[in-house]
Amino acid sequence: MSAGEERLRDLLVHGLAGEAPAYHAFLKELSRHLRAFLKKRLAGLPDDVEDLVQESLLAVHNQRHTYDPGQPLTPWVHAIARYKLVDFLRRRGGREMLTESLEEAEIHFFSHAETDAAEARRDVAKLLDQLPDRQRLPIMHVKLQGLSVLEAARLTGMSESAIKVGVHRGLKALAAKIRKPG
């Protein structure tokens, strides 16, 4: 395992244990590696790279409970990024647009990083607006305004567990919306 991967794995493991700053650092760094990975493989579709970076980040977040700390990080992240990339290309009906083999990509996943974020075309904030209130409000208060679950519950009149469920299901619904073209 490379030193970079080791460090990222540590950040993720701490993040999974509930340490928000570690998790934030993990996602931030991961987004750079995702961008490099996707940019290289979507050379013909530069405008879609940032959309797919965001879609992959959301996927990693929603599926983070499937990471086993005993497992190396690279194959896990690579499998998710690859799955989202192939799914995206299938939706577009253009698997042939893959400019680089996916099989050899795994070992190099964490050796490339790309900091320059282009504008995403699909605005996640707009997709958020399409969610029903029981999901939109918890995400708005807890995840965008940074309120605690208790505060969000008081403000909305929802129960604390409804807030938690709303955040969880809302992010899943967001991931489903992000997959739809348009």
Partner 1 sequence: MKTEDLVTMLATGEGAVEQNAAARRYTTAIGWGAFGATLLMAVFLGVRADLAAAALLPMFWAKMVFSCALAAASTIAALCLARPGARLARVKMALAAPILAMWLLAAFTLAGAPRELWPDMFFGRTWASCPLLIAMLSFPTFVAAAWAMKGLAPTRLRLAGAAIGLLAGTVGAVVYCLHCPELAAPFVGTWYLFGMLIPTSAGALLGPWLLRW
Q: Which residues form the interface with partner 1 (CB under 8 A)?
A: 15-18, 20, 23-24, 27-28, 31, 35, 50, 53-54, 57-59, 61, 63-68, 71, 74-80, 82-83, 87, 117, 119-120, 123-125, 139, 142-144, 146-149, 167, 171, 175-176
Listed as own residue / partner, the contacts of 141-149 with beta carbons closer than 8 Å and 24 or more positions apart are 142/167, 143/167
Nearer to partner 1, 16 or 113 (CB): 16
Closest distance of CB 122 from partner 1, Å: 9
In the structure encoding, which two tokens stand for residue 115, read together? 């900091």
What would the 3-class secondary structure string for 82-103 be?
HHHHHHHHHHHCCHHHCCCCCH
Residues 6+ apart with CB under 8 A from 77: 30, 33, 60, 109
Find the shortest distance in angstroms from Cβ 40 to partner 1: 17
Closer of 133 and 160 to partner 1 (Cβ): 160
- How distant, in Å, are the alpha carbons of 86, 101, 154, 169 from that of 82? 6, 11, 41, 24
Least separation, in Å, of the C-beta of 151 and partner 1? 10
Nearer to partner 1, 8 or 53 (CB): 53
Nearer to partner 1 by Cβ, of 40 and 164: the residue is: 164
